[in-house]
Structure 1
Amino acid sequence: MDFKDNLPIYIQIMNYIKREIITKNIKEGGKLPSVRELSSTLTVNPNTIQRAYAELEREELVFTQRGMGTFATEDVKKIENLKREMAKELVDNFLIEMQSLNFTIEEIKNLID
């Protein structure tokens, strides 16, 4: 995973895990890698992974079972909402970038068609 300088690493890790859940690479209720395992894979401090997991838990996208690990939510509706939110963010960013290049909404629509 290539980290960018413009966003904290723990947020980039959160976004990565969210994508894994949305694309079903991590199934509903599926086990996430341990903090130690993911920190080794991504070569980041375990505290950074722990912070990402804690934030995902706060957002109710994962849950932790003591002694067993961290698991993706089983709430399909929550996953669908996350998918829509992320898609909306992508579209919004796309439109902002296109408008910064002086494309009109009509020109953007024509390009998409």
Structure 2
Amino acid sequence: MPRVAPLAISIATGDSRPIAHQIVDAVRLQITTDQLSVGDRLPSVRGLAQQLGINPNTVAKAYGQLTIEGWLEARAGLGLFVAVRREQLSGEERERRIGEAVDRFVNEVVAIRYPPDRAVDLVAHALEAIAPSKIA
């Protein structure tokens, strides 16, 4: 039986995103940056809920979304595993999603009165640090 891959996830209580969304984002990032590999088994719903000190329903919701989106696959009686990635989004959908993300980011930058040029630099550095060879 495959070993369970540890999930280095931390929940930020001050984050505006719901906890389930934070889990989804963290797992996506770990898969995208090869911290989790295809075939790695994830902790059980109860196991991750206990690790994070949250309700198991929240983990189940996050895992469900990741499964629907194709990031994870359920294997009957065995658990959840990192799925083989396939390009699921059309160019149009990718553009729509990035547009929404940019809008949210810009609104936050404006709301906190942060210098735009500094914000752009921070985004560029964050992207380079996460996956320099994955961005294209």
- Cα RMSD of the aligned pairs, angstroms, is 3.4
* Match among 5, 30, 42 for residue 52 of structure 2: 42
Identical-residue share of aligned pairs (%): 29
Contact kept in structure 2, 1:34 and 1:69, CA below 8 Å:
yes
The correspondence of residues 17-28 of structure 1 with structure 2, limited to 5 A, is: 17-28=27-38
Q: Confirm or deny that 1:72 pairs with 2:82.
A: yes
Greater mean deviation of Cα atoms: 95-104 or 40-49: 95-104
Gaps of 5+ in 2: 1-9, 122-136
How many Å apart are 1:74 and its aligned residue? Answer: 0.9
Question: Could you list the runs of 5+ residues in structure 1 that have no partner in the other structure?
Answer: none
Greater fraction of residues in helix: 1
Q: CA deviation at 1:2?
A: 3.3
Residue 58 of structure 1 corresponds to 68
The TM-score normalised by the length of structure 1 is 0.68
Within the candidate set 4, 11, 23, 1:2 is matched to 11
Partner of 2:4: none
